[in-house]
Amino acid sequence: MTLEEKEILKALAWMCEQYISEGNGYLNHKAMHAGELAVEVLTAYGLVEPAPLGGRWTNKGMLLLDDSSGFSF
């Protein structure tokens, strides 16, 4: 995975956290197609685990969102 791909995933993760997060680690895409696709992509990379109407951040996903973690793919 390239550095550019990592940056794109990080941006997608933060957009999901900002716009579809319920504040408790759960992402609710509210049947919005873009949200559904975003959750699918993050799930494919192990950052989110699927759940009804969205997903829940995995430990790997939470580390990505923690700027101080020095996260590496």
Q: Does the pLDDT at position 5 exceed 70?
A: yes
Sheet holding 54-57, edge to edge: 26-28, 54-57, 48-51
Q: Can you tell me the distance from the alpha carbon of 24 to that of 47, in angstroms, rounded to the nearest whole number?
A: 15
Give pLDDT, residue 67.
72
Prediction pTM value: 0.87
Res 68 pLDDT > 70:
no
**13-62 pLDDT, tens digit each:** 999 999 999 999 999 999 999 999 999 999 999 999 999 999 999 999 99
